[in-house]
Amino acid sequence: MDIELRGITKRFGEVVANSGVNLQIKAGEVLGLLGENGAGKSTMMNVLSGLYRPDEGEIVIDGKPVQFDGPGDGIRAGIGMVHQHFMLVPVFTVAENVVLGVEPTGPFDSLDLKTARKQVREINETYGLEVDPDALIENLPVGIQQRVEIIKVLFREADVLIFDEPTAVLTPQEVTDFFKIVRALKDAGKALVFITHKLHEILEIADRINVLRAGQIVGECLPGEKTDIELAEMMVGRPVNLEVEKKPYAPGEVLLDVKDLTILREDDSLAVDDVSFSVRRNEVVGIAGVQGNGQSALVEALAGVHRVAGGTISFEGKDITRTSARARHKMGFAHIPEDRLKNGVVTNFTIAENMVLNSYYDERYSKGVSMDWNAVNEHAAEYAAAFDVRTPSIFETLNHLSGGNQQKMVVAREMSRDTQLMIAAHPTRGLDVGSIEYIHSRLMHARDEGDAVLIVSSELDEVIALSDRILVMFKGRIVAEFGAGGRPVDKNDIGLAMAGATL
């Protein structure tokens, strides 16, 4: 099945999300769609799935123009979507999720799960997917959950599969497996669209590349024709620097020392299992690992917002295992939380208010029971400017800012004083190249100024680019160390360790 988008334009009020987009999707081919967040990729997806109706232009399937009126129309026409955030019900089984909405039924409206299981197994065999139809989604690793999403669209007999940032949540090994599946689908004659901002992946898997910027297609090429730097510049629209500049590694004294740390989740299962490590001044320690292997709990425990079940955390030689988050903050801890919307900012507050969330009680900003808003505003304006937070004014609420500017605001707040230890969890997740460059340079600046820096990220390239030492976490334990004093930094080895292989 071939699909053509002709001159698709979609506006939301004043904002033009897509402007005259032309696109060709062909059977047996992988189309790579490269673009930053906010370039209009998801709008285009939603037009294709029938969720949005375009203001101008048309969708042509096998030479015939079609019109989509609702979310179900895309899939009925054979266009299947694999969303970045999986559309799976965690407490249902694989089979239940696959058949949801198109269930085989027996008498009295009863669910025929036996048939459903059989059909899941058949799709499994055809494409080599290997998914247990009776497993509960919440017990499956994300790589397998993604396969369930693929089975879901195949079950609905889709001929076109659109993947939105499919590798964002996968380990390097899972990415390899995923590419195998993509190739199997391609060989079976399916048309595939691969949406991403990761340059090397698109170069590896795509047969044809389209670059989307500010709602328009700004370039088309074959993988061999352009280098990753050239593609990045097409995507961002200006020259970019993919390397991180940093001074030579010269670690100082140990600042943060973690010994035998054990952290439990709410249900008493082990999140962090007997972990020991230390971070020195002038040093960046990166923690690599697939999400859900204890990094979140570790970061929260270090920041003082998660109970420690065993072991100790010391800072400058003092035991701080049970001290409060505020006390740690006063010692010079800075914490960039992994989910800025949940734990980093109050979206309905202004930039000025958000900027003092961690220091509003300080004498500088309050007199007795009342806030000194002049001082707050002055401080906020100074740091918003210093950290390149692009906003019409500091009285703008956070929900009007892009993700990149929100994150820069968090970084500005956390660094707007004399810090000692910087804990950054996924500091650049979901950000555009420009903001990533900026935040990386700020983290490096903190390191060169004498801070100890701990970075947690599931982006292996980021961890490797920034860190002096890399610890790999798997199932709550530190299973390998790379860089100074450990194994030589090797992307493949780190990927293997992340997947739990013993090196």
Partner 1 sequence: MAMDAVASPSSNRKLDTSALRQSKITGAILLFLALITALIFAQVEGGDAVFRLSRPTDTWALPNLVVPAGPFNWVAVAILTFLGVRQWMSKTGKGASLALGLGFAIFIAAFLVWATAGKAFSLTGMLQATMVRAVPIAMGGLAGVLSERVAVVNIGIEGILLSGAFTGALVGSLLGNWIGLIAAILVGGMFGFILAALVVTYRVDQIIAGVVINLFVLGLTSYVSSQVFSEYRFLNNAPVFRAINIPILSDIPVIGPMFFQQNIFVYGALIMVAAATYYLFYTKHGLHARSVGEHPQAADTLGINVYRVRYVHVIMGGMVAGFGGAFLTLGLVGRFDDNMTNGRGFIGLAAMIFGRWHPVGALMAALIFGFADSLQQKMALLQTPIPSEFLAMAPYIATIVVVAGIVGRSRMPAADGKPYIKE
The sheet carrying 477-483 orders its strands as: 333-336, 421-425, 452-457, 283-288, 469-474, 477-483
Residue 67: DSSP 8-state: -
Question: Which residues are paired to 286 by β-bridges?
Answer: 455, 470
Minimum distance of partner 1 from residue 446's CB (angstroms): 23
Nearer CB in complex with partner 1: 131/497: 497
The Cα angle at residue 200 between residues 198 and 203, in degrees rounded to 5: 110
Question: Which residues are paired to 64 by β-bridges?
Answer: 61
Nearer CB in complex with partner 1: 268/418: 268
C-alpha 241/C-alpha 465 separation (Å) is: 12
Q: Give the footprint of partner 1 on this chain (CB under 8 A).
A: 46, 49, 51, 71-72, 75, 81, 83, 87-92, 96, 100-103, 105, 108-111, 259-260, 262, 264, 266, 268, 273-278, 307-310, 471, 477-479, 481, 485-486
Q: Give the number of other Cβ atoms within 10 Å of residue 256's Cβ.
A: 23
The Cα angle at residue 43 between residues 64 and 222, in degrees rounded to 5: 70
Taken in order 26, 29, 33, 34, the sign of the CA dihedral is negative
List, as one string, the DSSP characters of 343-399.
II--TTSBHHHHHTTTTTTSTTTEETTEE-HHHHHHHHHHHHHHTT---S-TTSBGG
C-alpha 455/C-alpha 462 separation (Å) is: 9
Nearer CB in complex with partner 1: 92/360: 92
**Residues 240 and 293: beta-carbon distance below 8 Å:** no
Minimum distance of partner 1 from residue 377's CB (angstroms): 33
Minimum distance of partner 1 from residue 494's CB (angstroms): 15
- Which amino acid makes up residue 425? A
Minimum distance of partner 1 from residue 277's CB (angstroms): 5
Nearer CB in complex with partner 1: 120/356: 120
Nearer CB in complex with partner 1: 207/273: 273
Question: In a 10 Å sphere around its CB, with 0-12 CB exposed, 13-18 middle and 19+ buried, how is residue 279 labelled?
Answer: buried
Nearer CB in complex with partner 1: 88/411: 88
Q: Give the number of other Cβ atoms within 10 Å of residue 248's Cβ.
A: 5
Question: In a 10 Å sphere around its CB, with 0-12 CB exposed, 13-18 middle and 19+ buried, how is residue 324 labelled?
Answer: exposed
Minimum distance of partner 1 from residue 264's CB (angstroms): 6
Residue 108, C-beta contacts closer than 8 angstroms, at least 6 positions apart = none
Nearer CB in complex with partner 1: 24/312: 312
Minimum distance of partner 1 from residue 105's CB (angstroms): 5
Nearer CB in complex with partner 1: 22/37: 37
List, as one string, the DSSP characters of 179-193.
HHHHHHHHHTT-EEE
Nearer CB in complex with partner 1: 88/389: 88
Minimum distance of partner 1 from residue 348's CB (angstroms): 16
Nearer CB in complex with partner 1: 226/280: 280
Minimum distance of partner 1 from residue 41's CB (angstroms): 15
**Residues 54 and 16: beta-carbon distance below 8 Å:** no
Nearer CB in complex with partner 1: 110/374: 110
Minimum distance of partner 1 from residue 18's CB (angstroms): 15
C-alpha 275/C-alpha 473 separation (Å) is: 9
Minimum distance of partner 1 from residue 278's CB (angstroms): 7
Nearer CB in complex with partner 1: 32/304: 304
Tokens representing residue 72 in the block: 């179900």
Residue 99, C-beta contacts closer than 8 angstroms, at least 6 positions apart = 111, 113, 116, 119, 155
